[in-house]
Amino acid sequence: MTEIKRDNKGKARYSLLPQPLVDAEAAVYTAGARKYQPWGWLKYPLDEEETLDSAFRHIKAYRAGESFDPETGAHHLTSARWNLGVLFMYEYAGLETPGDRAVFRTSAHFAANQIKAEATAALYLARREAQLAEAEDARIDEEEAQLAEAEDARIAEEEAEDARIDEEEAERQEGFEETTSVSVPTPDLPRRWRGADRHFPSRTPSAYSWDPRED
Per residue in 139-148, pLDDT (tens digit) is 888 889 889 9
The letter for the amino acid at 190 is P
CA dihedral 8, 12, 14, 17 (to 10 degrees): 140
> What mean pLDDT do residues 56-69 have?
94
What whole-number distance in Å separates Cα of residue 166 and Cα of residue 168? 5
Query: Where do the domains of the chain lie?
Result: 15-128
Query: pLDDT at position 114, please?
Result: 60
DSSP state of 149: H
**pLDDT tens across 95-136, in order?**
654 444 444 444 444 455 566 667 777 777 788 788 888 888
Q: How far apart are the first and last CA of the chain?
A: 83
Q: What angle do CA 185, 186, 189 make, to 5 degrees?
A: 145
**pLDDT class of 208 with cuts at 50, 70, 90:** very low
Look up residue 11 and give its amino acid.
K
Distance of CA 29 to the CA centre of its chain: 29
- Asked whether residue 77 carries a pLDDT value surpassing 90, the answer given is yes
Residue 68 in contact with residue 75, Cβ under 8 Å? yes
